[in-house]
Copies of this chain bind each other. A is one copy, B any other.
């Protein structure tokens, strides 16, 4: 109970406690009351849809906090479970440590208390990740999302990753969510590492952006006794992930088509699979366009089209070429979204 003790006594994590749920709660139960219940042996309930929000910049590439808040205001009408600050789409790799913490603080202030703020706190070293996680918790994050370190990927085997995440989770005042994003890291968190880590009381789940549905199903299966929650890391395979037991999604596309992604969630959790399938299929190309295919510049360009503040990325990310912009638009229009 080393973790809960710390959790209950800490200042920053009081809100977290109210978000715990019984570890053996039947995953089918889905009312908002249940998922905020608390008591001994519980874990934070992280079910639902989250946009991994983009970071708007000024023309001089400084963080534009004003635009950030305006985006958050617009998102307030959408039934998101919360917000992920500094997932890969937040260009966190391009922010200084100070900016990373400050963005979390501003988001926490801007969004209603019942929305979870999950902050991406991963750094390459364990030491820096521990420190960053703590700072983000102090800044109001309800949980932290910790990407696999990857620069020395040849040595990032299960042993190293279990060691890393255990250090971070032991020290972190708020719950930890593992983050597997092989498209950026060139590294897949080994299934056995995820299974071992699922037993840590302060590790509540995994965001998997790789899209290998067999792997996702296997992790869910092998952690079924741990109340370990898996979130799809992309809208492209959200339905499939729900079909094998995922409980939500952190989806770049939700920055743009937030209502639709939440609607897909509802169709899945209520078992309307045929309708879900139809909606899912129309989201795949737009989703690919703003992620794998054209990246963050496309996400931001599309945000502009949909009335949010997108704008430019930090360098070296470049604006889209004219031909890319045309293709991007077509990926939305051909599916009926523009």
Interface residue ranges, A against B (CB under 8 Å): 61, 88, 93-96, 124-128, 149, 151-156, 159-161, 163-164, 167, 183-184, 186, 211-214, 217-218, 220-221, 224, 234, 236-237, 239-240, 243-245, 271, 273, 277, 280-282, 284-285, 288, 292, 294-297, 314-318
A28–chain B nearest beta-carbon distance, Å: 8
Choose among B95, B154, B160 the residue that contacts A316 (Cβ–Cβ < 8 A): B160
Determine the chain B residues whose CB is within 8 A of the CB of A184 once the complex forms.
151-153
Most-contacted residue by chain B among A126, A160, A221 (CB, 10 A): A221
Determine the chain B residues whose CB is within 8 A of the CB of A294 once the complex forms.
155
Determine the chain B residues whose CB is within 8 A of the CB of A317 once the complex forms.
152, 155, 160
CB of A164 within 8 A of CB of B280, answer: no
What is the bound-complex CA distance between A142 and B294, given in angstroms? Answer: 38
CB of A245 within 8 A of CB of B277, answer: yes
Determine the chain B residues whose CB is within 8 A of the CB of A126 once the complex forms.
314-316
CB of B277 within 8 A of CB of A316, answer: no
Q: List 11 A-B pairs, Cβ < 8 Å.
A: A93-B124, A126-B314, A126-B316, A127-B315, A155-B294, A159-B318, A163-B316, A212-B212, A213-B240, A217-B239, A245-B277
What is the bound-complex CA distance between A183 and B155, given in angstroms? Answer: 11
Most-contacted residue by chain B among A94, A292, A297 (CB, 10 A): A94
Known contacts A316-B156, A316-B163; A288/B214 CB under 8 A: yes
Determine the chain B residues whose CB is within 8 A of the CB of A211 once the complex forms.
212-214
Q: Is the interface of A mostly helix, strand, loop or mixed?
A: helix
CB of B243 within 8 A of CB of A94, answer: no
What is the bound-complex CA distance between A109 and B215, given in angstroms? Answer: 39
Known contacts A163-B315, A164-B315, A273-B273; A284/B154 CB under 8 A: no
What is the bound-complex CA distance between A47 and B101, given in angstroms? Answer: 43
Choose among B155, B217, B224 the residue that contacts A280 (Cβ–Cβ < 8 A): B217
Choose among B124, B152, B236, B295 the residue that contacts A154 (Cβ–Cβ < 8 A): B295
Choose among B161, B214, B221, B281 the residue that contacts A244 (Cβ–Cβ < 8 A): B281
A95–chain B nearest beta-carbon distance, Å: 8
Choose among B153, B240, B282 the residue that contacts A240 (Cβ–Cβ < 8 A): B240
What is the bound-complex CA distance between A319 and B266, given in angstroms? Answer: 47
Choose among B224, B271, B318 the residue that contacts A273 (Cβ–Cβ < 8 A): B271
Known contacts A94-B125, A240-B240, A244-B277; A155/B318 CB under 8 A: yes
A232–chain B nearest beta-carbon distance, Å: 10
Determine the chain B residues whose CB is within 8 A of the CB of A96 once the complex forms.
128
